Amino acid sequence: MSRPVPAATSALRVLRLLSSQPVPVPAARIAGALGLPRSTTYHLLTAMANEDFVVHYPEDRTWGMGLASWEVGHGFARQEPLARLARAPLARLVDQVGESAHLVVLQGADVLYVIEERAPGRPPLVTDVGVRLPAHLTASGRAILAGLPAAQVRALFPSRDVFVTRTGTGPSSPTELRRLLVTTRARGHATEDGEVTPGFASVAAAVEAGTIHASVAVTWETRRSPDVDDLATAVRSTAGEITRRLRPGPPGHRARAETA
């Protein structure tokens, strides 16, 4: 059984936090969000800066992602493991429910659409591949945010000023978002109705895969009134399947997953 390496774990948590921020942040905020002593945080940041994984902005006294982090992220994008492993389950989901589905990842306070599988005869959506939308307005984003630590959600949405709207609806303050996420966690899936596009609704479930903050969603025209409970069950099942594909397991288990 492998032993944990506290320093390595802390460094990875720092990178994960910095990657979720729209701008560089002070070391004190990093320490507070991760529950680390300030001295430990400064030592970690200094070591990571020496390897170019973070960069220090002395004029602002803030820290951000470094060039080495960009290179690692670029390598991930080239290999596209998430998209490769999720495409087949997403296609099966569309065949099952007859509605369009998509996969997103969290980028700062937005979600980035990685895959869209459009059901035959269904209208085009704004959620095309490469599109970014505010996470707090989308079912996809809410499913992810509901699983994040409260401190990380507060860092992403610290005040009313950061809340935007597309249709005049949706949470407009940290308190409203917090209440919405409590409901989402209790229910096990997220919903959205007309907050991204009038006349369309979505249901989403998070993909639980460690450092990858992703979710699966199905979107439909509200005039057709499908059974939302059935859609939610199908979406949760697909998110679970993708989670199992992403998580490492024994060699035999991995081989079976890769041929599924």
Question: Which residue, chain included where needed, has tokens 């389950």?
Answer: 89
Do 65 and 99 fall into the same domain? no
Considering the domain architecture, whether residues 67 and 84 belong to the same structural domain is answered as no
CA distance 221 to 219: 7
- The rounded distance, in Å, linking the Cα atoms of 98 and 59 is 54
What angle, rounded to 10 degrees, do the helices at 67-79 and 81-97 form? 50
φ, ψ for residue 7, nearest 5 deg: -65, -40
Q: What's the mean pLDDT when you consider all of the chain?
A: 86
Residue 243 lies in a domain: yes
Query: Per-residue pLDDT for 251 more than 70?
Result: no
- CATH number of the domain enclosing 191: 3.30.450.40
Q: Does the global pTM surpass 0.75?
A: no
Q: 1 in a domain, yes or no?
A: no
Q: Are residues 173 and 236 in the same domain?
A: yes
Query: Does the structure show a pLDDT above 50 at 66?
Result: yes
In this structure, the answer to whether residues 204 and 235 fall within a common structural domain is yes
Residue at which a domain ends, from 24, 43, 72: 72
Position 247 confidence tier, pLDDT thresholds 50, 70, 90: confident
What residues make up the domain containing 47? 6-72
Q: How many domains does the chain have?
A: 2
Q: Measured in Å, how far apart are the chain's first and last C-alpha atoms?
A: 28
Domain boundary among 53, 72, 91: 72
Q: Which of 72, 97, 115 is the last residue of a domain?
A: 72
DSSP assignments along 19-68, one per residue: HT-SS-B-HHHHHHHHT--HHHHHHHHHHHHHTTSEEEETTTTEEEE-HH
CATH code, domain carrying 61: 1.10.10.10
- Pair 86, 184 in one domain: yes
Residue 217 lies in a domain: yes
Tell whether 15 is covered by a domain.
yes
Q: Identify whether residues 148 and 200 lie together within a single domain.
A: yes
Summarised one tens digit per residue, pLDDT across range 171-219 is 999 999 999 999 999 999 999 999 999 999 999 999 986 667 899 999 9
